[in-house]
Amino acid sequence: MTLRSPVVLTRRHALFGAGAAMVAPGIFTWPLPAAAQAPQGAVIDITRARTDPIPIAVPDLAGTTAEAQRLGRDIARVIQTNLRNSGLFRPIERQAFIQTPELAAERPRFQDWRVIGAQALTTGRVEAQPDRLRVEFRLWDVLPEQQLQGTAFTAPAAQWRRIAHLISDVIYERLLGEKGYFDTQIVYIAESGPRDRRTRRLALMDQDGENHRFLTDGGFQALTPRFHPNARQIAFMSYNRNEPRVHLFNLDTGQQSVLGAFSGMTFSPRFSPDGRAVILSASRGGDANVFVVDLATRRERQLTSGGSLDVSPCFSPDGQQIVFNSDRGGDQQLYVMNADGSNVRRISFGSGRYATPVWSPRGDLIAFTRMSGGQFAIGVMRPDGSGERILSEGWSMEAPTFAPNGRVLAFYRETPSRDSRGSGYSSRLAQIDIAGFNERQMVTPTDASDPNWSPLLS
């Protein structure tokens, strides 16, 4: 694994050395002149073990007005939460800080930050104009007293959370050498009501649970939402008019449309990596086969055939291969085939049944659900089936989805009913590092299932 390689540093230099850039609608960034000599290579020892997160000080961003100070505090808190939740950073408690944010934003007194154990430090200031926000941000390596990054952002004031996530991603990438995943969203199914009459709605939120909104009203059941690579469209399964079919949901217009002209149920959709097609399963008679539907022509092509249940297809990130779930060998196992449906080979050979395969955006792993001995588990294996590792195990869990950097998985975990009325049952989103540590429950307003992680939004 090439985790935390310093190679990316030069790429980031290039990005921020090229002058102002628009990273999202209305959000501009440009480099700040270095306040100290910028380093030429990796400066933080980034080969530490996962149990040793990087101690970082993220004081409030300074501001000259009450409004700017409030925003500076809020932005710092979002950054701290992001970094802490990754499990790879340890934000230092603010009570320990010696130098004030205002003075640190002028010029860090590194001794004050060294003495409280900070290896990295962020400083910055916020200027709140009536409807716009200007945020300056610097990242420092405390030991050699060097600036690693200096970036200014302007954005509509309502976008302050986006700025906090963009800064978090800069910190993550500069200190770990791989891209972050904080400027992202999660689409999922919000579940409410008794289990035999559940309401299941599409819901969308930032990766940290904020900016939550429902996309459908619960008038029909929605399942298994998946982002388009541009994050502006979602494919999902809808029971609208009691016809279970894959639909597309346009996030800009709110428009929903059925995909393809299939006579039977269509389900388990995912976009191709280039965004031009959707791969899905279609039932014909009692069978389920894998089809790919071209979004421009709406023409469908059948990739698997026969009497088996072929479900949950997912492209490799290069679009050349497809992993899917089939019972063709007697019970559910994972298979990989070429994108044209040729060269099908089984890749799962452990004990139990395997399901819901999903290819890492880095291409190096396939995550899956395994059912064995009355337990469910989330695990990863290499695309050839070797190197299987179980990350989390319990009564019921399924549907892993990768963060865009391939480092974190989200999935959903259920707790069983205690009695015949269904008391005690719950379904919640969780996430875990692919190294198998730092499992956390994600906060949602109701029960939740079927998470899908967006690509980076900028």
Partner 1 sequence: MKTRMIGALAALALLGACSTATDQNASAGAGAATTATGPRPGSQEDLVANVGDRVFFAFDSSAVRADQRPTLERQAAWMGRFPQVQVTVEGHADERGTREYNLALGQRRANAARDVLVAGGVAAARINTISYGKDRPAALGSNEESWAQNRRAVTVVR
Residue type, 334: L
Q: How far is the CB of 434 from partner 1 (least distance, A)?
A: 20
Sites for partner 1 among residues 208-237 (CB under 8 A): 221, 223-224, 237
CB contact at 8 A, 137 and 150 = yes
Name the residue nearer to partner 1 (CB basis): 28 or 425. Answer: 425
Buried b (16+ CB within 10 A) or exposed e, 314-351: bbbbeeebbbbbbbbeeebbbbbbebebeebeebbebe
Q: How far is the CB of 374 from partner 1 (least distance, A)?
A: 8
3 Cβ neighbours under 8 A, 6+ residues apart = 176, 177, 178, 407
Buried b (16+ CB within 10 A) or exposed e, 85-112: bbbbbbbbeeeebebebbebbeebebeb
Residue 328 in contact with partner 1, rule: CB under 8 A: no
Could you tell me which of 254, 186, 217 has the C-alpha nearest to residue 452?
Answer: 186
For residue 341, what are its two tokens? 């449906």
Residue 194 in contact with partner 1, rule: CB under 8 A: yes
Residue 329 in contact with partner 1, rule: CB under 8 A: no
- From candidates 129, 255, 302, 417, binder to partner 1 by CB under 8 A: 417
Name the residue nearer to partner 1 (CB basis): 196 or 217. Answer: 196
Residue 372 in contact with partner 1, rule: CB under 8 A: no
Task: Kindly indicate which of the ranges 6-14, 57-65, 178-186, 261-269 contains the residues binding partner 1, using the contact rule CB under 8 A.
Answer: 261-269
Could you tell me which of 311, 307, 264 has the C-alpha nearest to residue 283?
Answer: 264
Site map 80..99 versus partner 1, x via CB under 8 A: --------------------
Number of Cβ within 10 Å of residue 189's Cβ equals 30
Task: Kindly indicate which of the ranges 49-57, 72-80, 152-160, 415-423 contains the residues binding partner 1, using the contact rule CB under 8 A.
Answer: 415-423
Distance of CA 96 to the CA centre of its chain: 32
Q: How far is the CB of 196 from partner 1 (least distance, A)?
A: 6
**DSSP class of 32:** P
Residue 242 in contact with partner 1, rule: CB under 8 A: yes
- From candidates 89, 97, 227, 267, binder to partner 1 by CB under 8 A: 267
Name the residue nearer to partner 1 (CB basis): 74 or 287. Answer: 287
- DSSP β-ladder status, 21-24 and 54-57: unpaired
Residue 452 in contact with partner 1, rule: CB under 8 A: no
Residue type, 36: A
Residue 371 in contact with partner 1, rule: CB under 8 A: yes
Name the residue nearer to partner 1 (CB basis): 264 or 341. Answer: 264
Length of the chain: 458
Residue 369 in contact with partner 1, rule: CB under 8 A: yes
Contacts with partner 1, residue ranges (CB under 8 A): 194-198, 200, 221, 223-224, 237, 242, 244, 264-265, 267-268, 281, 283, 285-288, 309, 311-312, 325, 327, 331-332, 355-356, 369, 371, 395-396, 398-399, 414, 416-422, 425, 449-450
